[in-house]
Amino acid sequence: MNARNITTFAVLLVVASGSWYLAGSLKTPEIVETTTDGSGDGFYLKSARILGTDDQGQLLYEIEADYVEQLPNREIVMKNVRITYAAASNVPWTIIADEATISEDQNLIRLSGHVRALSNEGFAGQVSEIRTEQLTIDPTAYRAETDQRVQIRIGSRSLTATGMLALLQDNRLQLKSNVSGKFVP
């Protein structure tokens, strides 16, 4: 073998290995598809506005929240919440809380953390405020209920109690136990 044959053989060897390498790098990547049953899927929203309607599609209430997330169990959790009833519902109450959870069936809203219900036309037509740490609302039935300690201010009067049922549309309040108050004439 002479030098020319060795050079030709070396060049052919380099070309063959280069084309082998190039062919391997140009292969189409294998596509792997994954499927899920959707049970872990949810959503999240920032600065959300949720509208609640009746069976005919009429607006009943509006929920505003800084953050909303749907959990895997289908419950919806909200942060910095404000619930306002529509003017047509004749419910003059606004409810504010640090957190809220809408049940999976979306019938109840459980509020927690510095819960305040405010109305300029509340009980006895006076400015009214209810404060508690937890409150469960049935927004379509206009009911708010808690077994926790509540502080209630109606005009210049103030009451405290353990447990309460408020019928917001009727402006009626039922205190459950340990009621004490201050009434100024």
Same domain, 87 and 5: no
Q: Are 133 and 111 spatial neighbours (Cβ–Cβ below 8 Å)?
A: no
Same domain, 6 and 97: no
The tens digit of pLDDT for each residue in 137-173 reads 998 888 999 999 999 998 888 889 999 999 888 888 8
Domain of 13 in residue numbering reads as: 1-30
The tens digit of pLDDT for each residue in 121-137 reads 877 778 889 999 999 99
Sorting pLDDT into bands at 50, 70 and 90, what band is 67? very high
Residue 148's CB is within 10 A of a number of other CB atoms, namely: 14
* DSSP 8-state symbol, 87: G
**82 or 21, greater pLDDT:** 82
Cα 63 versus chain centre, distance: 9
CA distance 185 to 1: 123
Same domain, 10 and 87: no
Task: Tell whether pTM > 0.75.
Answer: no
